[in-house]
Amino acid sequence: MHNYETLRGLGHAGRAIDYLRVDVVGAEWTWLDAEEEQALRQVRQLGMVVYFNDLAGIEETSQRNRNYMLSWYYDTFGQLFDLGFCLVSSREDADNPRRRRIPGLAEEKATIWELIWVRR
């Protein structure tokens, strides 16, 4: 799915969008390309459901792969920050109780989170 094409097709290209929710089941880590950045420039608030499914079995993963996965998440959030967004809310998805042990953290963490970003 290309958000900018969708927005243009619905007649929203060039118009401010107060709130956009993205729930693309795992593709949230790959949908932020140059075209999507164009669409996000119009958005004031962004709701995302993010799936940390790669964390399943992370304890058995090599340190190098672990660092790669975590840096991928960090880079994606950094892109949003660079676009002017600030994370204002994060909470575990209450409908999905899946949790994983993450090396370096004392307790298990949820693999699905709901995030809200607002433009600074």
Chain centroid, CA 63 distance in Å: 23
The structural domain count of the chain equals 1
Dump pLDDT digits (tens) for 58-81: 666 677 777 777 787 888 889 899
Domain extent, residue 39, equals 3-119
Dump pLDDT digits (tens) for 72-113: 788 888 989 999 999 999 998 878 777 777 666 777 778 788
CB 28 within 8 A of CB 50: yes
Q: Which residues contact 80 (CB under 8 A, 6 or more apart)?
A: 32, 40, 46, 87, 117
Is this model's pTM higher than 0.85 or not? no
